[in-house]
Amino acid sequence: MNEQEREIMALLVSAWNKFKVMEQTHPDHKRDFADGIHKCQDQIIHRVVQRDYPSDFPTHKCTE
């Protein structure tokens, strides 16, 4: 993992830690937030896998 990816992962952990101590206003909110964090973490993981296994997980350049 590169420095930027490591920083983003740490920020996601920080966001989770701050969210989980807040008063919950609905029983599903904590799980929903965790699911969102996991989706973000998956994007970082995909970048690492693409770099480590480029022939199996090719990188596609964005045109935006």
Q: Tens of pLDDT along 27-39?
A: 999 999 999 999 9
pLDDT confidence bin for 62, thresholds 50/70/90: confident
Provide the pLDDT for residue 61.
85
**Mean pLDDT of all residues in 36-62:** 94
37 burial type by CB count under 10 A (0-12 exposed, 13-18 middle, 19+ buried): middle
What is the distance between the alpha carbons of residues 60 and 56, in angstroms, rounded to a whole number? 13
The reported pTM is 0.85
41, 5 contact by CB (below 8 A): no
8-33: per-residue pLDDT in tens? 999 999 999 999 999 999 999 999 99
